[in-house]
Amino acid sequence: MRRFALATAALALLGAQTPAFVPVRPEGLTPIYGEPQKDIVQPDETLLDVAYRHRLGFESVARLNPKVKVWIPNAGTVVDLPTQYALPAAPRKGLLINVPEMRLYDFTRGGEPATYAIAIGDEMDPSLVGEFRVGAKRRHPAWTVPAAIRAEKPELPAVVPPGDDNPLGDHWMTIGNTSYGIHGTNNPWSIGRMATHGCIRLYDDQLAGLYDRVPSGTPIRLIYQTVKLGALDDGIYVEAHPDLYGREPDRVQRALLSLYDMGVGHLVDTRRLREAIAASRGVPVRVGTLPAPAPATFTTSRPAS
C-alpha cells in the first residue's frame, strides 16, 4: 500500500509539472486579438448598414464578403465581420494608425488596444505617415475650407460653421502642428473608405469618447503596412490589406523574407501565403504551424522499498 501511494504521488507530481503546449512565438509575429464574428442582413439593409451597426469600415466588410451584393443583399444573408486582427509591427503606445488598414489602435489604456474604423485620404490627397503628437483639440469645430477644395466646389463657403452640414463632426484633434486632424463626420457611410483630403475620420460617437480620454501631447504614429504577420496558439497567420497608395511592391517576397528572418519561413505554406496576400481580405489567415517545444524531462528517485 505504501509503494502504491508513493507511486501515485510521483505520477501526480509529474502531471502537475508537465507544461501545456505553448509554442515559442518569434518576436516579429505580433499577437492576434478579437474573434471572428458574423451578422445577418435584415430586410431593406445594405452592407453599409451592417458596417455601421458594428462600427466597422464599409470596404473592409465588403471585401470580406465578395459574393454578397453590396447594395441589395438578400435578407437573411450571413455576413462575415472583420473583427479579428493582428497587431501592426510598431511600438504599442499612444495612438497607432495603420493607413491602408483603415484602422486606429488606441494603446492609451494598456493591454489589448481599442480599435476604430477610419476613413483616410484618397490617392490625390493621401493621409500622412510619420510620428506626431496630439495637438490642439476643439469641440464643435468650424471648417475653414481649403482653397483647393473651393476650387473643386465653388459653391462651398469660405467657412462652414458647426452643425449638421459640417464634415468635421463635433470633435477635432490636430495631428501635431499640421493642418490635418483626427475628426468626426456628418457622413457615417464614408468610414472605411478613401474619403478625406488627408485627414483621419472616425464615426462621430466613437471619436467623442476618444476625444475625452486622450489628452494633447499623446503620441500619434501613422504607418503604412499592408501585410501583417501574427501568431495565435500554434498558428502562423498573415493579414493582408489592399495597397491603396501603391507603395509596397513585391509584398509576397517581403513577407517571406520577414518570416525567414524570424526563423519560421520554412514552416509556412507559400501557396497559402500568396493567396492570402493576393485576396487581401483584411483578416488573419493561417499559413503555417509553429513547432511544439521539446518535451521537458523529469527525473525522480525510485521510492525505497
| Catalytic residue list | 183, 199
* Interacting residues of 132 by C-beta distance below 8 A, sequence separation 6+: 175, 176, 178, 219, 220, 221, 222
> What is each CA distance from 160 to 84, 180, 184, in whole angstroms?
38, 16, 15
Measured CA to CA, the distance from residue 116 to residue 259 in angstroms comes to 28
Q: Residue 183 — φ and ψ, nearest 5°?
A: -145, 170
Lookup result for grid cell 460617437: 205
CA distance 136 to 283: 34
How far is it, in rounded angstroms, from Cα 8 to Cα 156? 83
C-alpha cell at 53: 451597426
Q: CB 191: neighbour CB atoms within 10 A?
A: 27
Residue 2 parent element (H or E): helix 2-17
Question: Of 222, 249, 251, which is closest to residue 98 (Cα–Cα)?
Answer: 222
